[in-house]
Amino acid sequence: MRFIGQMLYGIQAAQDVKLSQIGRELCEPIPIGKVENRLSRNLAREGMADVLHDCILDHVAPTIGKDTLIILDPSDIQKDYAKKMPYLAKVWDGSEGKVGANLGYNGCMAVSCEAGPHRMTPLAFRLWSCEAPGFKSENAEVEAVVDAIAKKAGGNGIYVYDRGGDRIGLFNHFMDGELRFIVRLIGNRNLVWRRKVRLAGKLAGKCRMKYRTHVTFLSHGRERNVQIEFGVMDVGLPGRPGAALRLVVVRGFGNDPMLLLTNLAATDSFKSLWQVVGGYISRWRVEETIRFIKQSYRLEDMRLLNYERLKNMAALVLCASAFAASWMGLGERLEILVSHVVDMSKRIHQVPEFFYYALADGIRRLFTRYGNGWGRKTPDVPSHDDDRQLLLPLCFTPG
């Protein structure tokens, strides 16, 4: 626990994942090489990532309600110039839309949020390499994330996945576990409609658009307002004749319709269909959370030469981001604390709704200014310094 406390302190104080930088923030009266070796030795502990994920889910699970969105999103850590890091594998190239020559590690991020403009809470970040011993499949890794969340959430939540989730294995896993889901289809998915197997992309042309509305969302940092229309069809999956599924077709976001397969939308009412459409639109905001975690803590700058250390470091970074995103947002007293920390980020412009960057910067400035090493308070704190008195208990509470 002392090691975990030191790592979370150091990651947030340095906004870095390099062990040398974390060690410097601890300010211990011993050579930095010895500190780095100790951190590296403890970081190799097998199974630490699973324990940390359990702790986060234990903390967050009570906030997951029946209709809370649990958004799954594939991620990756690119290490194109690394030569000695273990089990480097080819990862997805977003610009090319396929697995390219980029080397690194794959991952799956899970966050929870309520539909609409609400904050997101990190739930899990699982890292893996398809070249590592014991690797089964990407489906198995994603299913492990889903199972861990479902176990803690007691079946609550709606799982939302982009086109990467258009896999029969994942559909079967959701339905076998009696989990509710919204998954965007690619277009060449075979669906059963009126007892005939048809391609989803072709089937969309037969869907009657019952409703029309305007939506506002962020795209590449810019706010867009578009008019969309949507409708629904009763469909099934080949090999799952008893599964009652619905295909929600949305037009207006591009040239091709957006196809959402779900076991929600029990009726054809606007409210029922909008739960699906609005739920998927909320998924787009997870990209900002992933960027926050990668950029604020320099996740892609990991330089560890052990596979277990890599997975444990990813879990520790998740803990650091969850501390900023969820723990500090609970309770009236902590809301006051958050306002003080955000003020310390010294933002020139008004802090936006997604204020986690400012919060992470404020924590770093707080630890740097008042830290004086792990577990030791700066002596002679002036009694009139209310900000400092309020924040010191947070800075120096191990674990």
188 Cβ neighbours under 8 A, 6+ residues apart: 199, 200, 201
The average confidence (pLDDT) of the chain is: 81
Taking only the tens place, the pLDDT of each residue in 270-290 is: 999 999 999 998 887 777 767
CA-CA distances (angstroms) from residue 41 to 199, 207, 305, 306? Answer: 53, 59, 12, 10
Residue ranges and CATH numbers for the domains of the chain are 48-289 (3.90.350.10)
What percentage of the chain carries pLDDT values higher than 90?
48
Compute the distance between CA of residue 347 and CA of residue 362 in angstroms, rounded to an integer: 10
For residue 391, is pLDDT > 50? no
For residue 300, is pLDDT > 60? yes
The residue whose two tokens read 């069809």 is 233
User: How confident is residue 390, by pLDDT bands cut at 50, 70 and 90?
Assistant: very low
Compute the distance between CA of residue 225 and CA of residue 246 in angstroms, rounded to an integer: 27
Compute the distance between CA of residue 186 and CA of residue 257 in angstroms, rounded to an integer: 10
Compute the distance between CA of residue 141 and CA of residue 149 in angstroms, rounded to an integer: 13
For residue 35, is pLDDT > 60? yes
Compute the distance between CA of residue 101 and CA of residue 79 in angstroms, rounded to an integer: 11
Q: Which of 29, 334, 282, 6 is nearest to 159 (CA)?
A: 282
| Interval 139-166 mean pLDDT | 94
pLDDT for the residue numbered 244: 86
Q: With beta carbons less than 8 A apart as the criterion, state whether 253 and 217 touch.
A: no
- Predicted TM-score (pTM) of this structure: 0.82
For residue 269, is pLDDT > 90? yes
For residue 337, is pLDDT > 70? no
Higher pLDDT, 1 or 99: 1
Compute the distance between CA of residue 16 and CA of residue 178 in angstroms, rounded to an integer: 40
232 Cβ neighbours under 8 A, 6+ residues apart: 207, 210, 246, 247, 248, 249, 265, 268, 273
> What backbone torsions phi and psi does residue 106 show, to the nearest 5 degrees?
-90, 160
Compute the distance between CA of residue 92 and CA of residue 334 in angstroms, rounded to an integer: 39
For residue 311, is pLDDT > 80? yes
- 302: helix, strand or coil: coil
Residues in the chain: 399
Taking only the tens place, the pLDDT of each residue in 67-114 is: 999 999 888 888 988 889 999 998 876 555 566 678 999 999 899 988
| DSSP H stretches of helix in the chain | 2-14, 19-26, 32-43, 48-60, 138-153, 168-176, 200-203, 270-283, 286-296, 307-325, 332-343, 356-370, 386-395
Compute the distance between CA of residue 32 and CA of residue 313 in angstroms, rounded to an integer: 19
- Residues linked to residue 102 through DSSP beta bridges, in sequence order: none
b/e per residue, 347-379, with b = 16+ CB within 10 A? Answer: eeeeeeebbbbbbbbbbbbbbeebbeebbeeee
181 Cβ neighbours under 8 A, 6+ residues apart: 158, 159, 160, 161, 171, 174, 262, 263
pLDDT for the residue numbered 366: 64
DSSP secondary structure, 192-231, as one string: EETTEEEEHHHHGGG----EEEEEEEEETTEEEEEEEEEE
CA-CA distances (angstroms) from residue 287 to 146, 157, 169, 284, 293? Answer: 19, 20, 24, 6, 10
Structure tokens, 267: 């009726």
